[in-house]
Amino acid sequence: MSNFIKNIIDKLFPSSTGRKDQDSFDPGPYSSGGINLNSSKKGQTSTNFNAATAPLTEDQLADLQLKSNQIEPKQLIVGVGRDVGRQRQNNEDSIFSLSTIIDSNETSLPVGIFIVADGMGGHNNGEVASELAVRTMSYHLVKTLYPAIFSPKPHAPENSLQEILISGVTQANEMINKHSNGGGTTLTAALTIGSQMTIAHVGDSRAYSIFLDGRMEPLTRDHSLVSRLVELGQITEEEAKHHPQKSTLYNAVGQSTVPRPDIVNANFPQPGYLMICSDGLWGVLEEDDMFTIITNASSPQRACQDLVDAANAAGGPDNIAVILAKLSE
């Protein structure tokens, strides 16, 4: 990683100072002598094996196989899923997923923006509100961050990530109040730069860090009435699952009062996944079941489809939205 990119990340993520740089990557296995991968002349084979080269040992073969399974440069691999479910007429969930990378001799930097919004309000106001929230936040983040990070002369933006994300939530709230009368929405937005991530969260959609050692850790807390009652010890987790007001939010985007987003800073789970989803997924499937589906899938996209299918098989009582991202190994 070049010094100017490292300085940008240090300014954006002050807590990352002193951490081991996780953006470096091992070179590929195809640079050893005896194998020529350059284009050949007509009539010649494109791969020339040196007859004097000794056969590879078992250890060398194992190392070659390990490296051949790695992806270089390190990048974000993403899957998305969205479905109306089995019991709703309209889909009021909206998602945004954007991942990109700049990789050069001095720089290797994957960047991702991932957003889930779950609308509410009825009479199409919920779906309008969630789309406005996703479009407003994504536009704000791209407009603010991409010119700074990917310009010929990269520089840290004027404001901190926390200020940028809070401003995006505020703008989304204003847009919904102006264009979706009576509509509201959850909004969970994750910005990942290298191996660091910052999340802005309003409502009861969730973000999780999923580790391959079996841990599935919520990064956000629900801004719902029943969640607050659980926090106060007035009801149990089991009672909350069946509470008649489990979908009532005390903090949402598009309400008369300006929402108060939670801001979360964390390391990207490695090896593992970042998952953002609406309550049509986490409210239907147990965490153990989600973990099993994700870790058994062949890819993040396959995992998202399997999660949607499982939620629908369990009744599909609500709209389903999920984004699953991992940093390549």
CATH of the domain at 86: 3.60.40.10
How open is the CA angle 165-193-81, to the nearest 5 degrees?
75
89 and 55, same domain (yes or no): no
Here the tokens at position 32 are: 């050893």
Residues 62 and 186 in one domain: no
Domain of 186, in residue numbers = 76-327
pLDDT in tens, 135-165: 999 999 999 998 888 888 888 888 999 999 9
**145 in the same domain as 63:** no
- Work out the mean pLDDT of the chain and round it to a whole number: 82
Same domain, 107 and 247: yes
Residue 183 lies in a domain: yes
Please indicate, yes or no, if residue 237 is contained in any of the structural domains.
yes
Q: How many domains does the chain have?
A: 2
Across the range 18-43, mean pLDDT stands at 31
* Final residue in a domain of this structure, among 19, 42, 69: 69
Q: Are residues 177 and 46 in the same domain?
A: no
Q: What is the pLDDT of residue 153?
A: 85
User: Are 299 and 218 within one domain?
Assistant: yes
Percent of the chain with pLDDT over 70: 76
Give the CA-trace dihedral at 306, 309, 311, 316, to 10 degrees: 160
Across 275-289, average pLDDT: 96
CA-to-CA distance for 121 and 98, rounded, in angstroms? 27
Is 20 a member of any domain? no
28: confidence class by pLDDT, cuts 50, 70, 90:
very low
Residue 313 has pLDDT above 90, yes or no: yes
Residues 46 and 193 in one domain: no
Same domain, 234 and 277: yes
Q: How many CB atoms lie within 10 A of CB 52?
A: 6
207, 296: one domain: yes
pTM of the complete model: 0.79
CA distances for 18 relative to 9, 159, 311, angstroms: 12, 22, 42
Note whether residue 1 is domain-resident. Answer: no
- Asked whether residue 62 falls in the same domain as residue 150, the answer is no
pLDDT surpasses 80 at 279: yes
Residue 11 placed within a domain: no
Query: Does 14 reside within a domain?
Result: no
> With 60 as the cut, is the pLDDT of residue 314 above it?
yes
Whether 250 and 266 share a structural domain: yes
The 10s digit of each residue's pLDDT in 215-241 is 999 999 999 888 788 777 777 776 777
Instruction: Please tell me whether residues 56 and 86 are part of one structural domain.
Output: no
